[in-house]
Amino acid sequence: MIREFFTYISESPKLASAKKLGHLAESISLLAREKRCQKAWLPHRTLCKSFITEHLSEAQHYDSVLVLGSGPLHEIPIEALARTFKQVTLVDIVHLKSVKRELTRFTNIKFVEHDISEIESALINGELLRKIPEAFLSQNWGLVLSVNIMSQLPLHLEAYIEKTFKNKFQKEDVETYLQDVTKNHFLYLKSFNAPVLLITDTVTSYYNKQNLVIQTDHNYAHLNLPRPATEWNWNVAPIPEFQKDVGIKMNVGAFVLKNLPS
Ligand SMILES: C[S@@+](CC[C@H](N)C(=O)[O-])C[C@H]1O[C@@H](n2cnc3c(N)ncnc32)[C@H](O)[C@@H]1O
């Protein structure tokens, strides 16, 4: 905790929402969680990296690759990307200094701090804005990756609404607003004039100490996602990481969105 506190005060993210919506604290705690859950997360991390590496041939050229939700790069084969593409652009709301330090040997990696949903500052001003993001669409990317961010986008918004605007909005408006965030991220990915690799958790299951599933949530019941190219299970919160007698597993889908004119 003390180490996390000092890391927190040493970081100076560009965007106000990085602190206000708890992204900075979450990015720091993700590093600690990854250490605790290393064994359970390794198969998932390896499968993400292999999926990306095996599908680099989908790129329409090797000048540039855009990575959305790069975070601590646990799931990104960063060396392979830096070797394969002339320019690698990593986008996240927070890039921790420790993550950047690890990559100083690569001269072709660029870090961009950006709100991928493009609606967080509106929320801070009390508005439930719905929009399909626009950043990066005008560039000619060889390949675009969205890696375990789609399901995460509504989480901080939901927590912020709960904390700051408890009775300001109708419950139904908040529900559709949060659903629209993932829908608009998917529409955003479909708008790139480049192939997109999307990795996201599609089903969340809660299980008890007897390993029996006690609740199942379908994250994208409101969306018509295509069939994944491949999928796997991720034991994301082995007991007692989430609760002392409840664990969480996810079904993760890896999709190839070709996005090219037919
Ligand atoms: C599950 S982590 C992804 C981990 C990452 N793919 C990796 O390889 O380690 C989700 C990431 O989404 C980022 N994130 C969440 N909301 C965001 C937003 N609105 N804009 C940009 N990044 C966001 C978080 O900072 C975090 O790094």
- Say if residues 182 and 220 touch (Cβ distance below 8 Å): yes
List residues near ligand 1 (CB under 6 A). 23, 27, 69-76, 92-94, 115-117, 120, 147-149, 152-153, 156
Sign of CA dihedral 92, 94, 95, 99: negative
Which stretches of 11-148 are DSSP H helices? 16-20, 23-36, 38-54, 78-84, 97-102, 120-124
Pair type for strands 143-147 and 64-68: parallel
Section 84-105 average pLDDT = 95
Section 143-170 average pLDDT = 95
The pLDDT, as a whole number, for residue 262 is 47
Distance 113 CA to ligand 1 centre (A): 11
- Say if residues 80 and 56 touch (Cβ distance below 8 Å): yes
The pLDDT, as a whole number, for residue 28 is 87
Residue 206 confidence (pLDDT) above 50 = yes
DSSP code for 92: E
DSSP code for 61: -
Distance 240 CA to ligand 1 centre (A): 24
Return the axis-axis angle of helices 23-36 and 38-54, rounded to nearest 10°. 110
Among residues 214, 209, 212, 213, which one has the least CA distance to residue 240? 209
Q: Which atom of ligand 1 is nearest to the CA of 147?
A: 6
Section 198-206 average pLDDT = 97
What domains are defined for the chain?
2-257 (3.40.50)
Binned at pLDDT 50, 70 and 90, residue 15 comes out as: confident
- In angstroms, rounded to a whole number, what is the distance separating the alpha carbons of residues 185 and 117? 7
- Residue 24 CA to its chain's centroid (Å): 14
The pLDDT, as a whole number, for residue 261 is 59
- In angstroms, rounded to a whole number, what is the distance separating the alpha carbons of residues 63 and 148? 24
Secondary structure (3-state) at 208: strand
- Residue 43 CA to its chain's centroid (Å): 18
The pLDDT, as a whole number, for residue 51 is 98
Q: How many CB atoms lie under 10 A from the CB of residue 172?
A: 8
Q: Over the stretch 216-251, which tens digit does the pLDDT of each residue have? A: 999 999 999 999 999 999 999 999 999 999 999 999
The pLDDT, as a whole number, for residue 100 is 93
Q: Over the stretch 30-82, which tens digit does the pLDDT of each residue have? A: 888 888 999 999 999 999 999 999 999 999 999 999 999 999 999 999 999 99
